[in-house]
Amino acid sequence: MQRRSYYFLLFVIALGALAAVGFTKFKTIYGLDIKGGTRLTYQVKLLADQQGKIALPKARAQIISVLLNRASGMAAEPVVAAKGDDQVVVELPGISDINEARRVIGSSARIELYHARNLNSAQDSNRLYDEVRSEDPNTPVVKFRKRGDGKLIEPGTPEYKSVIQGWYLILAGTDLAEAKSQPAGQNSYQPAMEFNNDGTRKMSQWMDRYYGKEEPIAFVMDGRVLSVSPVMKDARITNNAFISGEFSTKYVTSLVSLLNGGSLPAELEELSSSAVSPTIGDAAYGKMVTAGAIAFAIISLYLIGYYAFPGVVALCALCLYTLFTLTALKFIGATFSLAAIAGFILSVGMAVDANILVFERFKEEMRNGRPLMSAMEIG
């Protein structure tokens, strides 16, 4: 019996040492209410061409994986989680620029190549619209000017959407194999793409039909035209293409990273966005930790002063409980928000309460004249 007790004690010590090592090795993930940052909430809506091909839960699982890749490139230890039946919550600790977060996280990253058949071309100048290129290399977007009245059509307007709807979709995001940046002159780069087998087949079919006609191809993402370029008369596009234009290196790098991160199988509709300041969270966190330490010290003194040696044993058990629980939470990647920390402190209090109940029951049995071992067993 005594040997078994020694073995158990050695096991507890070894487990405590292992937990202590794990506690120092695993990272602590703090919630937005402590660290501050940006929180975005989206509703998942299946695209028209995905209806019936993929179930909403599976699409959302794929979206969470893609968004986590994007978020990891923006913030340290981001959180991407499902909410309800069709929502996704993204938390970006330390990120205060909501617009940049929206641009990276909320983008479909679904690049689409269209035959812009209502734009003027070298061989047909009687079509309805002309393209108007952007002069800003950081936000390249093509506008349109209507022939006749000269009206400028801006992105986001119903007429802009109507212009794109008049085009023929050659291939889309799922046909992309890889995106990369390639040199485009001195100190400048442009996004280039490699197509997979399906994309190559679709592009080849379109080229067979329009070879030598110098028809314009438009690159579209999130309802905005990034570039429009005519296919040169003697050129044949099959398994790759590049987006022509004046782009900043930062924009090209961001776009390539976004495309390689994967396109979304569904549309994301933003429901809410908020920037969380770390100031209040830091103050509350400091007060909470201080209050928890003071309460722990008072309880320790009470256990030792009132229960003597059993109190010391209970205190050791309480310290091990705290260590094991914190290590396990860090191991599974739990987020330590203010509410979570408050809940943990409450669980420590409940463990103390359980110890006191056991000790009082033990003392009661001792007062009734039971032997030590019997009182311990019953207590």
Give the domain ranges of the chain.
2-30+278-378, 37-108, 112-260
- Answer yes or no: CATH 3.40.50.920 is held by domain 37-108: no
Give the architecture-level CATH label for domain 2-30+278-378: Up-down Bundle (1.20)
Q: For residue 327, which phi and psi values (nearest 5 degrees)?
A: -65, -45
Res 379: pLDDT: 52
Q: Which stretches of the chain drop beneath a pLDDT of 70?
A: 1-3, 5, 48-53, 76, 279-281, 362, 366, 369-379
Q: For residue 232, which phi and psi values (nearest 5 degrees)?
A: -60, 150
One-letter identity of residue 72 = S
Cα separation, 12 vs 320, in Å, equals 9
* b/e code 17-41 from CB counts within 10 Å (16+ = b): eebeebbeebeebbbbbbbbbbbbb
Res 376: pLDDT: 62
Query: What stretches of the chain show up as alpha helix (H) in DSSP?
Result: 2-25, 32-35, 56-72, 98-105, 158-165, 197-210, 249-260, 278-307, 309-331, 338-367, 372-378
Q: Is 348 left (phi over 0), alpha (psi -120 to 50) or beta?
A: alpha
Reduced to 3 states (helix: H, G, I; strand: E, B; else coil), residue 191 is strand
Res 374: pLDDT: 64
Contact indicator for 179, 167 with CB cutoff of 8 Å = no
Res 322: pLDDT: 87
Cα separation, 38 vs 278, in Å, equals 11
Structure tokens, 18 = 């292992």
Q: Give the DSSP letter of residue 119.
A: B
Q: Which of 336, 352, 332 lies closest to 344 in space, CA to CA?
A: 336
Cα separation, 255 vs 249, in Å, equals 10
Res 2: pLDDT: 60
* The CATH number fitting domain 112-260, selected from 1.10.357, 1.20.120, 1.25.40, 3.30.1360: 3.30.1360
